[in-house]
Structures are given as structure tokens and as C-alpha cells.
Structure 1
Amino acid sequence: MKKIWLLLISTLFIVLAGCTDSGQAKKEETVTLKVGAASVPHAEILEYLADDLAKEGVKLNISILKDAVQTNQQTADGELDFNYFQHIPFLEQTNKESNLDLVSVKGIHIEPFGVYSKTINDIKDLPQNAKVAVPNDVVNFSRALLLFKNNNLIELDDAKKNDYTVEDITKNEKNIQFIGVDSLLLVRSLDDVDASAINTNYALEGGYNPHEDALIIEGSDSPYVNIIATTKEKQEDAAIQKVVKWLTSEKACKFFEDQYKGAVVPVF
């Protein structure tokens, strides 16, 4: 009888241990990814898809972008697993300037770039010697000048194709003064200038509807596609690929269309 009880206790212990091991295995299957993202729309769409990702064993720990170059550096150093806030020209410029080797995993959406003002309602009313705030990074400064060129407000040197600076302006009848400002401060700069060229994510954060409030805006054919960026080593990471799968799903597409009404355009 004593042997039977010992056998039963041993069997129960094995079963319980198995249950414990199984529970630990399930817990270990969940992968937490550290992400650097702009708050709108990048973090919003990631948070919207969080439950779907959790069902596939992926949890996101999202840090809201405070400094673009620093976020890329943190991704390169492994402090972040990937980031989602930038387009390829900006990534390439940061790689070059900071000696990084980050790569694009997938293009997700376009945010058409626009010009806003608190003092005028039509770009034709931009005054002589107008002060216009534009992003102070090389890529988006050039992008802003191109937007003004494409709307016949200035002319640029035909010998160049990108990385335009004020020195490349060949015609500027209104003598527009382009002032470089940190992208995070462009909405705030509207109190001090005649107009500001603002990335759509920051315009949305500032309460602006790009297609209603922008004086001029890029078309949906903009080459500045926002991407998932990471290191070459993590480019094929299974958990990151699950994030990409959901970001390019029909559910994500509908969220972009319903939430942003054309201000954010999915490219998948």
C-alpha cells in the first residue's frame, strides 16, 4: 500500500512539473520588441494592432520619438529592435552622417508633406520677404524646397536632383526666407513665421487636417515612403516580420483610411 501511495505521489509530481514546464514554455514564446516610433500615426497603428500581435506571441514596448538621429543610433546599438518613423532618404542620410548601417524592412505608408499658415488662407497671398519655417535636416529641407518649386513659388538649379539648399534657388521673386527648424517644433513655429512646411505626422499631432488645412501639399505619389527600419542582422527576424505582416494587412489599411482620411496613404 505504501508503494502504491509513493507511486501516485511521484506520478502527481511529474504531472504538475509538466504543467509548470508547459506554462513556462508558453510564457517564453512571447517575444517583446522594443520600438522607437513617432506618436502619429506610427505608434497609433502599432497600438491598434497590439492585440493581434499578442495572439502571435509578439509584445511591443513602444518609445515615442524624441530625437530622430538618436532613435536610429539606439536601433543600431540594439537598444531598440526596430523603428518606425522615417522615410528612406532620411534613413540613408542618417546612415551616411552617423556611420550607421540600418536597412529598410518594408515600406508602410506615405505622409504627404504640406505647408501651413496662421495668417494666410492661400499660398498666393504669401507676402514679399515671407519667413517660412522648414525642417532643418538635409533631406526634408530639400523636400520642402521641392514642394515650393513644384508649386511655382521658386526655381531650383536643374543640375541637381536632390539635397537642395538655399544656394540652389535660382529664382525667388517673393524673396522667401527659408528658416531651418527642428521638425518637432514646426507646428509651434507657426506663431512666429508666415508659413511652415510640416511633416504630416507632426501636423496631425498639432490638430491640423492636411487635406483641409494645408495651403499646398504633396500628391500621393510622393517617394517619401515611411518604413520599418532595423539592423541587417534583424532584417529577417521572425517577430519583426510578424509586425510587418500586420502593418500591411487589410485591417491596417482600413485603419489608415478611416482614421486619417487621406492624410496617411498606405502603399501596400
Structure 2
Amino acid sequence: MENTMSLRRLLLSAVALAAFTSAASAETIKIGVTPGPHAQVLEAAKAVAAKKGLDIQIVEFSDYVVPNAALDAGDLQANSFQHQPYLDNQVADRKFKLVSVGTTINFPMGIYSKKVKTWDEVKSGASLAIPNDPTNGGRVLILLRDKGIIKLKDGVGFKPTLLDITDNPEKLKIVEVDAAQLPRTLPDVDVAGINTNYASQAGLDPVKDAILREDPKGPYANIIVVRTADKDKPWVKTLVESYQSPEVKAFIEEKFKGSVLATW
């Protein structure tokens, strides 16, 4: 009996030691996200990454500027909240040494209203709020152009500004607002172009509530971003594989039902 108990203790100790060693060897990284779908999808990826020995700590930010600054400064190891045109703009303006290592999800931009049900009801001279950052504000302008509502200068690329509008037959009064504040602004304007993550966070349904919606195919797939110096580190490959896993794709399809799309 004593030998049996000793053997049992030995086995239990071995199991505990293995668990401790596994936990101790897990690499920990901090990833910045914005609240809502980005954070929710990363939670699903976190569970997959844990099985691969990568411990993800999720840090939420309420704006689009700080996550890149925090990453560049070394306070984060990665972030997941932006698309390539926005990153390109940040790198050009702020000289960040950051790079994309994989795509994540796509949030088709939508135009919402508390006052009308369709765009045809929007009257001449209506007020339109758009994000005040060049990339996402330009994204709304491109959406309006593609729907035939305004005209833009030729060759404006992905970052047109209000100065690039060449024809505004509906005489829309366009105001620029911080992207995170647009849902709060919605009752005070006729229509607003709102990023899907902020719309969802405010209780809007991007599929049912948007009166205009961006074509999901395009350059606005969101990305995982790391410091350029880190892009070839083993944990980066593990992170991307964990995110782009069948488990995470199934979570996106079940959770968001078309309002958020997997890009892989």
C-alpha cells in the first residue's frame, strides 16, 4: 500500500511539474484592440493560441491613435484594429516602424440614420457626419462616390478629403467627428458614416440598420500589426496561425452573422 501511495504521489508531482513547466514556458504578449468585435474575435484567438503555448493579454483602447503609438514604443507586442490604408497613413505621418503580418476581419463601412429609413429619404442640405481621420473619413467619401451621391477628383486614391469633392448635388453639409463619438452624434445629424466596430458597440446592426453599406471586397481588410523588428519572431507566426484558424472563423460566422467577415 505504501509503495502504491508513493507511486501515486510521484505521478501527481510529475503532472503538476509538467503543468507548471508548460505555464512557465508559455510566451506572453500584449495586443492592443478597440472594444467590440476586434476584442471579441481576439478572445477567440486567445483560446487557440493558449494551446500553442502563446499567452495573449488583451489591452483595449478607445481610439485609433494610441494603439500604434503604444506598439511603436514597445508597450505592446502587436495590435489588431486597423486596415492597411490607415496603417500606411500612420507610418507616413508619424514614422512608426510597424508592419502588417496577416489579415483578420473586414467591417464594411455603413451609413446610419435615426431620422430616415433609406437614402432616398435624405433631403437636400442634410447633415452628414464622417470620421475625422483621413483614412476612414475618406472611406465614407468613396462610399458616397461609389453610390453616385458625390463626385471626387480623379486619382484621389484611398484618402480623399472634403477638398477633393468636385460635385455635391445633394448639398450635403459634411462635418468631421472623432470616429468613436459618431454613434453619440447620430441623433444630432441626419446621417453618419460609422465604422462597424463602433456601430456594433452602440447597439446598431450593420446588416439591418445601415442605409448604405460598403462593398466588402476592397482594401479595407483589417490586419495584425507588429514592430518591423519583430515580424520574423516565432510568436508572430503562432499568433497569425491562431487567429486565422477554423475555430476563429466559425466563431466570427456564428457571432456576427454577416456584419463582420473573416478575410482568410
TM-score above 0.5: yes
Instruction: Give the deviation of 1:156 after TM superposition.
Output: 0.9
Whether 1:32 and 2:41 are equivalent positions in the alignment is: no
The alignment's C-alpha RMSD in Å is 1.9
- The alignment partner of 2:160 has SS state of coil
Equivalent residue, structure 2, for 1:199: 195
Whether 1:42 and 2:38 are equivalent positions in the alignment is: yes
Identify unmatched segments of 5+ residues in structure 1: 1-17
Instruction: Give the deviation of 1:24 after TM superposition.
Output: 6.0
Q: Which amino acid aligns with 1:172?
A: N
Residues 145-193 of structure 1 show CA distances to partners (whole Å, capped at 9, x for unaligned) of: 0111111111111243332111211111111011111111111110111
Equivalent residue, structure 2, for 1:12: none
What percent identity do the matched residue pairs reach? 32
Tell me, in whole angstroms, the C-alpha distance in 2 between the residues paired with 1:69 and 1:240.
22
Change (3 A) 1:20 1:173: closer
Change (3 A) 1:127 1:266: same
Q: Which of the residues 87, 93, 104 maps onto 1:91?
A: 87
Equivalent residue, structure 2, for 1:155: 151
Does the aligned pair in 2 maintain the 1:112–1:222 contact within 8 Å?
Answer: no
Q: Which of the residues 201, 213, 225 maps onto 2:209?
A: 213
- The alignment partner of 1:35 has SS state of strand
Equivalent residue, structure 2, for 1:255: 251
Q: Which amino acid aligns with 1:253?
A: K
Q: Which of the residues 75, 82, 90 maps onto 2:78?
A: 82
- The alignment partner of 1:146 has SS state of helix
Tell me, in whole angstroms, the C-alpha distance in 2 between the residues paired with 1:56 and 1:189.
43
- Greater shift in the superposed pair: 190-199 or 246-255: 246-255
Does the aligned pair in 1 maintain the 2:30–2:77 contact within 8 Å?
Answer: yes
Instruction: Give the deviation of 1:124 after TM superposition.
Output: 1.4
Does the aligned pair in 2 maintain the 1:131–1:176 contact within 8 Å?
Answer: yes
Change (3 A) 1:21 1:153: same
Q: Which of the residues 224, 230, 242 maps onto 1:228?
A: 224
Tell me, in whole angstroms, the C-alpha distance in 1 between the residues paired with 2:166 and 2:48.
52
Q: Which amino acid aligns with 2:52?
A: E
Tell me, in whole angstroms, the C-alpha distance in 1 between the residues paired with 2:253 and 2:105.
11
Tell me, in whole angstroms, the C-alpha distance in 2 between the residues paired with 1:147 and 1:229.
26
Change (3 A) 1:23 1:255: closer
Equivalent residue, structure 2, for 1:59: 55
Does the aligned pair in 2 maintain the 1:39–1:65 contact within 8 Å?
Answer: yes
Q: Which of the residues 237, 240, 250 maps onto 2:236?
A: 240
TM-score, normalised on structure 2?
A: 0.90
Residues 27-55 of structure 1 show CA distances to partners (whole Å, capped at 9, x for unaligned) of: 43111111101222111012123332222
TM-score, normalised on structure 1?
A: 0.89
Identify unmatched segments of 5+ residues in structure 2: 1-13
Equivalent residue, structure 2, for 1:141: 137
Residues 82-107 of structure 1 show CA distances to partners (whole Å, capped at 9, x for unaligned) of: 00000000001011111112000101
